[in-house]
Amino acid sequence: MERYFINKPNLDRLVKSLTKIYTVYAPARSEDYIYYKRIGDEGLEDVVIGEIRPVQSIKGFYLPARTKVASYLPEKISEKKTRPVALIGAKSCDMASLKIMDYVFTQDSFKDPFYISQRKEGLIISSDCTSYGESCFCVALGIMPYPTEDFDINLSEIESGYIAEIGSEKGEKIAKEYFKL
C-alpha cells in the first residue's frame, strides 16, 4: 500500500474540495461526546480525527432509517439526486460492522440496491484510534485499533499532520488528483 504525508491545513483543503462531490461527515467533539458532524465551508474546524469512535455508528449513513423507494408523482417532477457520503475518521470497529452488512445486503436473495449504491459511491477516509474509552471493544473482537482493510484512505495522526495510507482504487484516484496537497 502506498503512503503519503498530508499536513493538517492541506487535509482541510482536501476535505473542502470533497464537499463539492460528497456529503462529508467527520467526528466533532460536543461536551463529553464525539459525534459525526456534516462538514461544509468551515472545513475541519472543531473536528477530531484520531481519538475514539463517535457515539453514533457509521451504519446509519449506508442504511438510513428512511429511504424513498418509489414515487407516484408525474415524471415531470425531477427528484434531486443526493450526493454520495464521504466519512472522515471512521474507526476499524465501525468498519467491521460494514463487513457484516455488506455480506447481508449484497447476497443474491437479499440484495438491497440502495445499500449497494451507497457503499459503491461512498468514500471512507478512516483513522487510527489514538485513545480509548470504557465502551471500546476492538481488542475483545480481535480487531486492531487501526483499520487494516475496507478503507479508501486511512489517516494515522502524527505531530505535524497525517500519514495517509491508500487502501483502494478510489483512494488512489483521490491521492493522484490532489497530489499537490
Mean pLDDT of the chain: 87
Residue 75 domain flag: no
Say what the pLDDT of residue 157 is. Answer: 92
Say what the pLDDT of residue 139 is. Answer: 77
Residue 67 domain flag: no
Q: Mean pLDDT check: name the lowest of 19-28, 69-78, 148-157.
A: 69-78
Torsion of CA 161, 35, 88, 99, to 10 degrees: 130
Residue 28 domain flag: yes
Split at pLDDT 50, 70, 90, the class of 67 is: low
Say what the pLDDT of residue 151 is. Answer: 95
Residue 106 domain flag: yes
Q: Are 128 and 155 in contact (CB under 8 A)?
A: yes
Say what the pLDDT of residue 24 is. Answer: 96
Q: Is 80 exceeded by the pLDDT of residue 76?
A: no
CA distance 123 to 17: 13
Q: Are 122 and 82 in contact (CB under 8 A)?
A: no
Q: Is 90 exceeded by the pLDDT of residue 55?
A: no
Q: Which three cell numbers stand for residue 109?
A: 436473495
Q: Which residue range(s) make up the domain with 51?
A: 3-62+82-177
Residue 107 domain flag: yes
Residue 72 domain flag: no
Say what the pLDDT of residue 65 is. Answer: 66
